[in-house]
Chains A and B, each alone.
Chain A
Amino acid sequence: MTTLSPELIATHQLTEAEYNKIVQILGREPSYTELGIFSVMWSEHCSYKSSRLHLKKLPTRGRYVVQGPGENAGIVDIGGGYVAAFKIESHNHPSFIEPFQGAATGVGGILRDIFTMGARPIAVMDALRFGPLDDPANGARNRRILEGVVAGIAHYGNCFGVPTVGGECVFEACYNGNPLINVFALGVAKSDEIFYAKAAGLGNPVIYVGAKTGRDGIHGASMASAEFTEESKQKRPNVQVGDPFLEKLLLEACLEAMQTGAIVGIQDMGAAGLTCSTCEMGSRGETGIEIELDRVPQRETGLTAYEIMLSESQERMLLVAEKGREEEVFRVFRKWGLDAVAVGQVTGDGLLRVRHHGEIVAEIPNQPLADSAPLYDRPHTLPLRTAPMEAPAFSSSNLTHDLETLLASGDVCSKRWIWQQYDYQVRTNTLAGPAVADAAILRVKETGAALAMALDGNARYCYLAPREGTKLMVAECCRNLAVVGAEPVGATNNLNFGNPERPEIMAQLVESIEGMADACRFLDVPITGGNVSLYNETLGEGIWPTPVVGVLGLLKTGAPVGVHFRQAGRPVMLVGGLGDCDPVRFGGTQYAKAVLRNLWGLPPALDLEHEKRVQAAVREMVLAGLAESAHDLSDGGFAVALAECSFGAQSVGAEVELTSDLGPELLLFHEAPSRVLLSTSEPERVKEIAARHGVEAPRIGVTVQGQVVIRNRGAALLQANVDSLRKVFEGGLESKLRA
């Protein structure tokens, strides 16, 4: 056996204490292969060692929840004998190194998490963060990363046959060296046909299916658990290459094989590949697993045991079948032209035993390997922030011009250039795809019901105040569902942060999780799973705290209520009222960012109690069929929302008259939450519902053809032609890509 030098242990990113724990578990020094196995299983990416303690604070139970965190995906009951499986996952580090394949395999990984559970994927959404496209130093690289990431997502999702129905895309300098690619996927299964990742039944065969194993992606999980340095580009070989066609075959074959009734448990080989799938299935089933690496289908010759165990080659699954019924499973995989090989069996000794060339190369107790990873209560102080609290003096010379600046800005402008590259309609379930409504809506043909979903994140708010920022983000995401009439039933989160070993970064993570827990509990949306991505730092520069949440809601199938005004002459109502703001609470807005190019103060104030009432009121209005259009106020505040409502095919705008004592910049562009713009032909009924919920809903104006006009107490603030605003809005992203 090789002697393991301290240097070798250090390059595996294991601390001395962690190594000693390994020796204690094994009762001896680990072999080289065992060292590799421990290092990936105990990496931050696989073990959540810095976040686990705090993730426990999140609410995970609810009346719709069938499966909470801990499985490949969360599951909620959607009625009619069906469930929805959904989860979000990041592929940040690989996408920086190799944008196209990094993003493509990110999609592949989350899709496998869904169909591993027996659910057919029916939708994908993505939350993307890049450095500014016009950044003087990094613009060219940021554009290249954006183009590669979008092409990668399109390549994988379009070929696999899952619609990419929405998402969000934000640009900040903190993502210059560290883009974020978070992909959400949703699938549907029959309630009594859910599959779990458990190995059970002594002597049952362990079957390897799908792509052959190669040298790609070795130590991907560990790479995703470290900061980037100048040398990181040399890690390109650690990024895997995706094959969406093979994944499509794997999907069909797995779902068909599940129908045979011969499958006991199944798990995809994602991060940490064969290592993770074997020991986690064994640990969950409280069994042992014995595998023979010579039987593993291999793409190249001369692979070592270490390489086979740590490879992250894509499109592979591990399943446990009933002994004696292997042939039924093999027959299905043969039909789809896929490798399916029995590589081992379930044992009763609780050990992961790996043989190669007739020798035992690893023998590790499953339970401690999978579940006894070190758990750190990392010190945390005050969250990092360098922005001032005081607002600078500002005064606009042209509010219409300011609105155009906002509409053209990267965060607010139309993302058509991105989503038009995605097939958002395949499977013909998309009732509301990108840019139609505040949430994406998919019908479930099997039950006649529909599902709504939205993704939200706001790192600006979270940087200024992680706890409040995260609450605002959860509130907005739920509001997006309320606006289309859906009831939120569950959520998944992606926590993208910097280096948790820095107390001021750890504090961001802790406060964000606690804020999320409070908001989710208050709004009654349990978290059913998700992903934590730490060490998002390059050359010591960390990203801003960027939690992202995806919320799933239920609603009846029907024509969706979109954001666009549909006809002129309709009353316009502002449910939730004008809201309030002061200069300090204005510092995290898009106006501060795009027009003033500044950041200060605090995020908008949130009253969760009021928010909940607004959401209930809007949901009731929409379900009663009173809303011809509905759109929540978020990035860019009132003026931007009003302009967005006008960008429908008929260019119907609005003329509104406000009554407020706020200065014009604040009045038009502040981002106080809990507000929804609605056009209706029945204003009295809208008012009646609002009053019943204790919510303001002033009638502020009327829709008109082709114009956006805003006055305050009779004084004109802003007047613009819809089509000229639209031109700025639609051209924003492409003009930056051409830069």
Chain B
Amino acid sequence: MKFGVVVFPGSNCDHDAWYAVRENLGQEAEFIWHDSARLGDVDAVVLPGGFSYGDYLRCGAIAKFSPVMQAVKRFAADGGLVLGICNGFQILVEAGLLPGALVRNAGLKFVCREVRLRTETTDSPFTAAGNVGQVLRVPIAHGEGCYVADERTLDELEAENRVVFRYLDNPNGSARDIAGVLNPARNVMGMMPHPERASDPLMGSTDGLLIFRSMVSALAHA
């Protein structure tokens, strides 16, 4: 399988995602430059963490206008797997591919630490290899990761089983402890925690590999 890792000028977890896919997952990975209107022959797209275009405005607000995001939208509409991590999640909600918004952490400070995530659904190509209720140890590192949406949207996400992960120890004030969500077609997922940082035994946890492995097996069966 080939994963395309999008590189915005301010992406800084792009290499980490690339490394996790290549070295820890054993799959192919290539970078896709932000002003590229085509994604090439990739099987899945990762929008990595970082600060896309500086994010001095709203995180991801400028990135949604980039040429590559138009291509990502088409790819998603065609059923392609898109994983947004951290800044990637922020970009996906700004681009309208996922509902809700990510605002300043409740503590008003950047937080870097490991959190525990409860797997809420395995009915997704990102978690099919896990079990409902399975707890993953994955780090977060963000200043604006508080997930918010109106009550109706939150109810809808829950009713449609589109909340993928919840924090067991909510670090940022996210509504209903939500750490990651799916789009209605279930082929686009955004999450604030960094699975690529929990993919190498040397980094203290390999729980994040569950997500990448699920994607690989979903693609293999597609």
Binding site for B on A (CB under 8 A): 151, 154, 158-161, 243-246, 248-249, 252, 336-337, 419-428, 430-431, 443, 445, 557-559
Say yes or no for B50: interface residue by CB 8 A criterion: yes
| B9 interface neighbour in A252, A424, A445, Cβ under 8 Å | A252
B53 to chain A, nearest CB (A): 7
* In contact, A423 and B202 (Cβ under 8 angstroms): no
- Per the bound structure, the CA–CA distance linking A160 and B139 in Å amounts to 19
Q: Which residue of B lies closest to A337 (CB)?
A: B9
Question: Which of chain A's residues has its CB closest to B54's CB?
Answer: A245
A445-B197 contact given A245-B53, A248-B10, CB 8 Å threshold: no
User: Chain B, 1-28, contact with A by CB distance < 8 Å: what is the 0/1 string?
Assistant: 0000000011011011001100000000
Closest 4 CB pairs of A and B: A161-B12, A245-B54, A423-B141, A428-B16
Bound-complex Cα distance A248 to B87 (A): 16
Please report the C-alpha to C-alpha distance between residue A558 and residue B197 in the assembled complex, in whole angstroms: 17
- Can you give 5 A-B contacts (C-beta < 8 A)? A158-B110, A245-B10, A419-B112, A424-B112, A558-B202
Task: Tell me whether B197 and A559 are in contact (CB under 8 A).
Answer: no
- The answer, among B12, B19, B54, for a CB contact under 8 Å with A426, is B12
Which of B51, B111, B143, B196 sits near A428, CB closer than 8 Å?
A: B196
A428 touches B203 (CB 8 A): yes
Residues of B contacting A422 with CB < 8 Å? 110, 112
The reply to whether B111 and A420 form a contact with Cβ atoms under 8 Å apart is yes
Report which residue of A249, A424, A425 has the largest number of chain B beta carbons within 10 angstroms of its beta carbon. A425
Known: A337-B9, A421-B112, A428-B19. A159 touches B202 (CB 8 A): no
Asked if A336 contacts B9 (CB within 8 A), the reply is: yes
Q: Which of A426, A431, A443 contacts B13 (CB 8 A)?
A: A426
Partner of A427, one of B9, B10, B16, B143: B16
B residues lining the A interface (CB < 8 Å): 9-10, 12-13, 15-16, 19-20, 49-51, 53-56, 109-113, 139, 141, 143, 194, 196-197, 200, 202-203
CB distance from A537 to the nearest CB of B (A): 32
Since A159-B12, A245-B9 are in contact, a sample of 11 more A-B pairs with Cβ atoms closer than 8 Å, ordered by chain A residue number, is A160-B12, A244-B51, A245-B56, A248-B51, A420-B109, A421-B109, A427-B16, A428-B20, A431-B202, A445-B19, A558-B202
Report the nearest B residue to A120, measured CB to CB. B15
**Nearest B residue (CB) for A427:** B16
Find B10's partner among A159, A420, A559 (CB 8 Å cutoff). A159
B9 contacts across to A, CB distance below 8 A: 245, 248-249, 252, 336-337
Closest chain-A Cβ to B140's Cβ sits at a distance in Å of: 10
CA distance A158 to B142 in the complex (A): 9
Cα-based distance from A421 to B140 in the complex (angstroms)? 11
Select which of B53, B112, B143 is within 8 A of A425 by beta carbon: B112
B51 touches A430 (CB 8 A): no
Query: What is the CB-to-nearest-CB distance from B62 to chain A, in angstroms, rounded to a whole number?
Result: 11
Inter-chain contacts of B194 with A (CB < 8 A)? 425
Q: Please, which residue of chain A has its CB at the minimum distance from the CB of B139?
A: A425
Residues of B within 8 A of A249 (CB): 9-10
Kindly identify which residue among A161, A246, A443 contacts B202, using a CB–CB cutoff of 8 Å.
A443
Say how far B195's CB is from chain A's closest CB, in angstroms. 11
Among residues of A, the one whose C-beta sits closest to the C-beta of B56 is: A245
CA of A244 to CA of B194, assembled, Å: 22
Q: Give the nearest-CB partner of A336 in chain B.
A: B9
A159-B51, A421-B109, A421-B112 given as contacts; is B10 within 8 A of A426 (CB)? no
Query: How many angstroms from the CA of A336 to the CA of B16 in the assembled complex?
Result: 21
Contacts of B13 in A (CB 8 A): 161, 426
Complex-state Cα separation, A352 to B116, whole angstroms: 60
In Å, the complex CA distance between A378 and B203 comes to: 51
Contacts of A423 in B (CB 8 A): 110, 112, 141
In the assembled complex, which residues on chain A have CB atoms less than 8 Å from the CB atom of B203?
425, 428, 430-431
Which residues of A lie under 8 Å from residue B197 when comparing CB positions? 425, 428
Q: With A245-B51, A428-B200 as given contacts, are A420 and B12 in contact (CB-CB < 8 Å)?
A: no
Rounded to whole angstroms, the CA-CA distance of A64 and B56 in the bound complex is 42
Shortest C-beta distance, A463 to chain B (Å), equals 34
Instruction: Determine the distance from Cα of A665 to Cα of B20 in the docked complex, in whole angstroms.
Output: 51
Which residues on A sit within 8 Å (CB–CB) of B16?
426-428
Q: Do residues B19 and A420 form an inter-chain contact, with CB atoms below 8 A? A: no
Instruction: Tell me, rounded to whole Å, the shortest Cβ–Cβ distance linking B114 to chain A.
Output: 9
Q: A336 to B9, alpha carbons, bound, how many Å?
A: 7
Q: Enumerate chain B residues within 8 angstroms of A420, measured Cβ to Cβ.
A: 109, 111-113
Q: How far is the CB of B31 from chain A (nearest CB, A)?
A: 12
Enumerate chain B residues within 8 angstroms of A337, measured Cβ to Cβ: 9
Bound-complex Cα distance A557 to B203 (A): 11
